[in-house]
Amino acid sequence: MSRSNRPALLGAALACVLAAGAQAAPPAATPADARIVRGIAAKPAFRAAVKALEQEHDAWVANIIALTEIPAPPFKEAARATAYAEMFRKAGLTDVEIDAEGNVLGLRKGTRPGGKLVVVSAHLDTVFPEGTPVKVRRDGERLYAPGVGDDSTGLATQLSLAKALDAAGIKTPDDILFVGTVGEEGLGDLRGVRHLFGTGKYKGRIRAFFSIDGTSDDGFTIGGVGSKRYRLTFSGPGGHSFGAFGLVNPLTALSQTVVDLYKIEVPKSPKTTYSASVVGGGTSVNAIPREVWLEVDMRSESAAELAKVERAFLAAVDRAVAGENAARSIAEAPVKVDVKLVGDRPAGATVADAEIVRLATAAYQSEGITPQMGSGSTDSNVAMSLGIPALTIPRAADGGRGHSVDEWIGIGKEGSLKIRKLDLLTILAVAGYR
C-alpha cells in the first residue's frame, strides 16, 4: 500500500515533513535482507542493546524534557548545542565537537580501518522565535511544549541509541557519526547538513545518512521534496492616481506574474506545486505604487520538475515586467523587478530498491509491519540530492501539532520503544553489523 492511501495519518504523523506524496509500493526485502536483519536481532549483543533501551526509557523522557526546555530558535541553537555535546560525551561518543556551522558531532568508531561512515542525525533547531515559553507539561503518556517532538525527541532518541550501543559494546564495521544539526527548519535552509557534506571534516566519507525526524509507527521517508522560495520586489516611478494616469504600475506586473504562475501546468506525479503566498506594498489609495512585493513558494518531489516550474515562473516574471513597460508610459521610469531567492532546498529521493530501503523494510517486516514510505522535507534532502542513500526515520510512534505551540509527543513505553528498536536495527544493518 502506498503512502497516498493514508493521507490523514501521514499528515499527522510526520510533523516536520512538509509534504507527502505517493511512492511506489515498497519492494519486498530480499530473502538475503531478511536473513541479515534476523541475524542481527538474534545476537546477544543486540538483545543487550534493546534491554539498555528499555532500561533507559525514563532517561529518554527526561532528556526530551531537558532538551526542549533549552530554547533553540532558528540561528540560535548554541545553548542547546553545548548541552547536547555534553550528553554525547556521557553517552560514550568520541571526537565530540561543535563544528564551524554549529552542528554537534560525536563519533562511534568502526572496526574497518579507513572505513566509510554512516551518519545518524537529528536537528537542534525549532521553528519557534526567541521568547516562546518552552516549559514542558506532562499529561499521562504525552508531553506538551513547542518543539517537544520536533526534534527534541529526535535528539533524545539518537542519544538513547548511542548509549545502547555503548552499553552493549556493539562494534560496527563502519564508523557511525552522530550529529545534532543546526538550521533544519525554515530559513535555516538545511545549513547544518549542507556544511557536513560540503565543507565539514567528514565530507567525502559519508556513505549513508539517517535523519531521525517525524513520528510514525509504521513507516519512514524515502523522498525529499525540494523547494524554491522567491521574494520579488517590483518598483516603478509612482505618481498621482489621477494626475499621473498612464504611467507604468508595478502592481500590474505583479498581478500578471501571479496570473501567469497559475497557468503553469505541473505533474501530479512527481508531485509539483506552487503558491503565491504573501503580498504587500503600495502607498495610498490615490497613488500609483512605487513598490510592491510578492513571495512565492514552489515545491517538487523531482529536481527536474522543480527546475522546470522555476524556469517557467521566472520567465513569467520577465514577461509581466516587459508587458507592463510596453503597455503604459515609461517616460518617468520603467517598472523593474528585484528577484531574490530566499529558500532553496534540493529535491531528491532514495530509490525504493536501494539497500538502505530494503534493510529498513526487512527490519519493519521482522516486527510484522509492512512499512509505509513517504516524501518530506528534512535534512535527508541534501544527502538524497547528492545521491547518497538516505532515510528519514521516526523519533517516536505518535505525536502531533508540530510547528504549533500545542505540539505534543507520545512517550508510551511500548510504542516508543518499538520505534527506537527499529531505528537501531535499521542503522546497524546499514552500518554493516552482521
Shorter beta-carbon distance to Zn ion: residue 27 or 343? 343
Residue 151 or 174 having the CB closest to Zn ion: 151
Place of cell 523593474: 336
Q: How far is the CB of 185 from Zn ion (least distance, A)?
A: 7
Q: Show contacts with Zn ion in window 209-228 (CB under 5 A).
A: 213
State which residue, 213 or 217, has the beta carbon closest to Zn ion: 213
CB of 187 to Zn ion, least distance (A): 14
Q: How far is the CB of 212 from Zn ion (least distance, A)?
A: 9
- Between residue 292 and residue 351, which ones bind Zn ion under the rule CB under 5 A? none
* Cα separations in angstroms, 45 against 39, 48, 109, 166, 171: 11, 5, 17, 10, 10
Nearer to Zn ion, 183 or 236 (CB): 183
DSSP conformational letter for 3 = G
Do residues 56 and 161 touch, judged by C-beta distance below 8 A? no
Would you state the cell numbers that stand for residue 150, as one nine-digit string?
520536533
Other C-beta atoms closer than 10 Å to the C-beta of 233 total 17
CA-CA distance, 393 to 40, in Å (whole number)?
19
Ramachandran region, residue 401 (left: φ > 0; alpha: ψ -120 to 50; beta: rest) = left
Dig out the grid coordinates for 33 from the structure: 535482507
Cβ–Cβ < 8 Å for 361, 371: yes
CA torsion sign, 410 to 414 to 419 to 421? positive
For residue 122, the minimal CB distance to Zn ion (Å) is 8
Q: Measured from the CB atom, is 16 or 222 closer to Zn ion? A: 16
- Which parts of 11-30 interact with Zn ion (CB under 5 A)? 16
Q: At what angle do helices 154-168 and 44-55 cross, to 10 degrees?
A: 130
CA–CA gap between residue 415 and residue 217 (Å, rounded): 8
**Whole-number minimum distance, CB 129 to Zn ion, in Å?**
16
Q: Chain-centre distance of CA 36, in angstroms?
A: 29
| Least distance in angstroms from the C-beta of 76 to Zn ion | 16
Q: Which of residues 97-156 bind Zn ion (CB under 5 A)?
A: 150-151
Rounded CA-CA distance 400/359 in Å is 28
| Euclidean distance between CA atoms 109 and 93, whole angstroms | 9
Please choose, out of 8-16, 168-176, 305-313, 417-425, the segment that lies near Zn ion by the rule CB under 5 A.
Answer: 8-16
Q: How far is the CB of 127 from Zn ion (least distance, A)?
A: 9
d(CA 269, CA 91) in angstroms, rounded, equals: 43
Of the two residues 216 and 249, which places its CB atom closer to Zn ion in the complex? 216
In the complex, the smallest distance separating the C-beta of residue 41 from Zn ion, rounded to whole angstroms, is: 28
Residues of this chain, 147-206, that bind Zn ion according to CB under 5 A: 150-151
Site residue total, Zn ion (CB under 5 A): 4
Cβ-closest position to Zn ion: 16
Span near Zn ion by CB under 5 A; candidates 84-92, 208-216, 318-326, 344-352: 208-216
Are 237 and 249 in contact, with CB atoms under 8 Å apart?
Answer: no
Residue type, 58: D
Closest CB to Zn ion among residues 213, 305: 213
Q: 185 or 301, CB closer to Zn ion?
A: 185
Kindly state the DSSP code that residue 140 receives in the 8-state scheme.
T
Q: How far is the CB of 419 from Zn ion (least distance, A)?
A: 15
Q: Using the minimum distance from each CB to Zn ion, give the nearer residue, 151 or 398.
A: 151
Q: How far is CA 422 from the centre of its chain?
A: 20
Which CB sits closer to Zn ion, 213 or 301?
A: 213
Under 8 Å between Cβ of 235 and 250: yes
Query: Min. distance of Cβ 152 from Zn ion in angstroms?
Result: 10
β-sheet bridge partners, residue 336: 235
Binding site for Zn ion (CB under 5 A): 16, 150-151, 213
